Amino acid sequence: MTQFTKSFLWRFILDIILLGIFVRFCQNIILTITSRFISTYSTPFLVIEAIVVSAISMLFICFITYWNIGVISKKDCYHNEEYSMVLRMIISEKWIHINSYDVCFDYNVKSVIIIKQKIIVQLEIGDLYAVDMAGNIIEKNNKPFQRSDLDKDFIVEINQNNLYFNNSAVYFEHNIYSFVLFDDRIIVQLNELDASAKSDEIDNVYAVDMEGNIIWRIQNKERVCPEYKFISPYVMINYIDGELIVNDFNGFRFVFSPDDGTFVKRIQSLRPW
């Protein structure tokens, strides 16, 4: 049973109890008002009571269902504290050492993207592999989409909100969700922030150089793209043909410069709205 299901169930049970109390309260009010005009045991009274109580109950159920789904979805999607990445990875020519597992490829490793519990590996000939945290190759794609180069021996270690690579260390305020290694920097995406965060605090993508310095933080969407009215964190990052493409929670896609994090353009959304 997922955390979403558990949260919804206990909230639903609590709401049913509140609904019973609320309906009983409404019945007492109806009884008090109508008893002055008609008999409480007459057919008109029973009909009026049934209609009013049913209408109030339906409105209450619709409200609590909408509220529960909205609150729980935002809590789980925006501030998922249950997920934290703990990873130690060593990249050496054709080999990748993941925690205590080794994966060997036919060609040298050119770039790596870490997305939650999946590692996307691109070889020097352009082939892409998806590898899980147990060192199993779970998917292969021959279509190259990323251009970058890594040193022959590159060591990266992630422990929740700490990033260690080579002889550098970077500490973030929130857990690391994914990152992209390329050229002379690392693009880091932090775990989605709370939906109630200020608009200038939800741009959770950073660039770190090989000395461990944060060289830029992605710019605020509302400032660089005025027509964008939604406030939501970024949930996916990709580096494609020299462009940093970032998707946010609402399904909108933005292109930023990987050099300084400046806004370039907004492209077609993943969702129809």
CB 8 within 8 A of CB 1: no
pLDDT (0 to 100) of residue 156: 67
CB 145 within 8 A of CB 243: no
- As a whole number of angstroms, the distance between CA 96 and CA 156 comes to 11
Residue among 163, 152, 257 at smallest CA distance from 209: 163
Per-residue pLDDT, averaged over 193-201, amounts to: 47
pLDDT band at 192 (very low <50, low <70, confident <90, very high): low
Give the pLDDT confidence of 108-123 residue by residue, as tens digits: 877 676 665 677 777 7
pLDDT (0 to 100) of residue 151: 46
Q: In the chain, what are the domain boundaries?
A: 3-78, 86-267
Q: What is the token pair recorded at 242?
A: 């020299």
Determine which helix (DSSP H) or strand (DSSP E) holds 180, and give its type and residue range: strand 176-182
pTM of the predicted protein model: 0.46
Per-residue pLDDT, averaged over 5-10, amounts to: 58
Place of tokens 């509302």: 222
Please determine, for residue 255, whether its predicted confidence score (pLDDT) is greater than 80.
Answer: yes
Neighbours of 126 (CB within 10 A): 15
Give the pLDDT confidence of 48-79 residue by residue, as tens digits: 666 766 777 667 666 666 555 444 433 333 33
pLDDT band at 243 (very low <50, low <70, confident <90, very high): confident
Radius of gyration of the chain from its Cα atoms, rounded to whole angstroms = 26
Place of tokens 């608009």: 199
Residue among 205, 115, 231, 96 at smallest CA distance from 155: 96
Residue 139, judged by CB atoms within 10 A of its CB (0-12, 13-18, 19+), counts as exposed
